């Protein structure tokens, strides 16, 4: 009889299996941060590109109409902001003015400029999710429900800055003269020409990040939905103060309230806020996009916000 010699394959012992699992866990632990960094770098690059497209659209608007978009157009404003000519019956913001310049002519065509932005005649238009208005780093992305924006209205992560709120004024270090149209590049009831930016277009904000609304965030922590402006503040079609444009408030970490020296990535209730590590993207009036360091003092942010303050901007804050 011929005997067949069998070769047995020894199985893994429990210790060997545990070692393999531990090695895999270590490798995953090493890879995950790298993957997250790559994803964030891609998201920040897309956010930068969004602002570049919005900057180009603003310049094209300026060339076409002799000025930058209204911020906002509001026929209901009186006093020095009273319009002698009212081509439209309802208010609208810079976001609507830019639609034809960001390949959204179809949305602009169905937006009724003579009807309230939040009314039934504009419900279809304002539910459009416009990619260039959304920073991919913002929690919830373009999903209105995840961002607590009602009625599926499209979100907005970029705003114009209007003026220094009185609660922040004591922390600025100098006085900013009052201008009812706003001290920034974009103005209320005015198509302000680029030539009016006497501080220089390379020294003046056009738009800045204020990402994540209507989720409310303070110093990197989610704090709910009822801390700042109402539920419509994060909708791109909302033309009013506290939505597509806002005061510069500042933040006081000591009291956990608005009105303080912290200016960048402190809260997203109207100030400059992003979900990028170390700062936020800002669009300057010359069309360039820069990364504003989170350590930038409030006074420097105000200098960059004003269009004709005559300040000398210190170096080292914009990358």
Per-residue pLDDT of the chain (319 residues; tens, 9 = 90+): 555 555 555 556 777 777 888 888 887 777 667 666 667 778 999 999 999 999 999 999 999 999 999 999 999 999 999 999 999 999 999 999 999 999 999 999 999 999 999 999 999 999 999 999 999 999 999 999 999 999 999 999 999 999 999 999 999 999 999 999 999 999 999 999 999 999 999 999 999 999 999 999 999 999 988 788 676 789 999 999 999 999 999 999 999 999 999 999 999 999 999 999 999 999 999 999 999 999 999 999 999 999 999 988 888 888 8
Sequence-separated (6 or more) residues with CB below 8 Å from residue 211: 135, 137, 138, 157, 268, 273, 274, 275, 280
* pLDDT at residue number 316: 83
Nearest-CA neighbor of 160 among 195, 193, 209? 209
* pLDDT at residue number 8: 53
* pLDDT at residue number 125: 98
In a domain, residue 205? The reply is yes
* pLDDT at residue number 29: 74
In a domain, residue 8? The reply is no
* pLDDT at residue number 11: 59
Question: Is 164 in a helix, a strand, or coil?
Answer: strand
User: What is the domain range of residue 287?
Assistant: 34-305
C-alpha span between 125 and 310 (Å, rounded): 41
Q: Which residues pair with 279 in a beta bridge?
A: 276, 293
Burial (Cβ within 10 Å: 0-12, 13-18, ≥19) of residue 109: exposed
Question: Quick count: other Cβ atoms within 10 Å of Cβ 175?
Answer: 9
In a domain, residue 18? The reply is no
In a domain, residue 6? The reply is no
Give, in order, the Cα–Cα distances in Å from 32 to each of 13, 38, 43, 50: 29, 10, 16, 27
Sequence-separated (6 or more) residues with CB below 8 Å from residue 221: none
In a domain, residue 311? The reply is no
* pLDDT at residue number 232: 78
In a domain, residue 3? The reply is no
C-alpha span between 132 and 119 (Å, rounded): 24
Number of structural domains (the chain) is 1
* pLDDT at residue number 34: 60
* pLDDT at residue number 314: 82
DSSP letter at 162? E
C-alpha span between 228 and 213 (Å, rounded): 10
* pLDDT at residue number 263: 97
Q: Which residues pair with 189 in a beta bridge?
A: none
Hey, what are 273's tokens? 């806020």
Rg (CA), the chain: 25
In a domain, residue 255? The reply is yes
In a domain, residue 2? The reply is no
C-alpha span between 132 and 115 (Å, rounded): 24
* pLDDT at residue number 193: 98
Beta-carbon-side half-sphere exposure of residue 86 (alpha carbons within 13 Å): 14
């Amino acid at each position: 009889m011929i005997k067949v010699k069998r070769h047995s394959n020894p199985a893994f012992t429990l210790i060997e299996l545990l070692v393999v699992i531990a090695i895999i866990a270590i490798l995953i632990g090493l890879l995950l941060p790298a993957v997250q960094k790559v994803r964030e770098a891609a998201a920040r690059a897309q956010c930068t590109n969004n602002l570049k497209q919005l900057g180009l659209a603003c310049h094209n608007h300026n060339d076409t109409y002799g000025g930058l978009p209204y911020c906002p157009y509001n026929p209901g404003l009186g006093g020095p902001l009273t319009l002698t000519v009212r081509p439209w019956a309802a208010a609208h913001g810079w976001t609507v003015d830019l639609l034809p310049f960001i390949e959204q002519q179809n949305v602009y065509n169905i937006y009724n400029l003579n009807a309230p932005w939040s009314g039934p005649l504009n419900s279809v238009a304002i539910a459009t999710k416009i990619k260039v208005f959304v920073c991919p780093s913002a929690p919830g992305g373009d999903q209105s429900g995840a961002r607590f924006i009602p009625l599926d209205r499209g979100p907005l992560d970029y705003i114009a800055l209007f003026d220094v709120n009185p609660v922040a004024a004591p922390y600025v270090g100098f006085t900013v003269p009052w201008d009812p149209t706003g001290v920034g590049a974009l103005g209320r009831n005015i198509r302000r020409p680029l030539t009016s930016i006497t501080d220089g277009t390379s020294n003046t904000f056009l738009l800045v990040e204020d990402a994540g609304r209507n989720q409310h965030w303070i110093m990197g922590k989610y704090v709910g939905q009822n801390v700042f402006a109402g539920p419509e503040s994060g909708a791109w079609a909302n033309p009013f103060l506290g939505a597509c444009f806002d005061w510069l408030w500042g933040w006081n970490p000591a009291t956990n309230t608005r009105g303080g020296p912290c200016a960048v990535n402190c809260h997203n209730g109207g100030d400059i806020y992003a979900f990028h590590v170390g700062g936020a993207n800002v669009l300057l009036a010359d069309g360039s996009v820069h990364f504003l360091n989170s350590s930038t003092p409030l006074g420097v942010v105000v200098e960059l916000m004003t269009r004709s303050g005559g300040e000398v901007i210190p170096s080292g804050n914009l990358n």
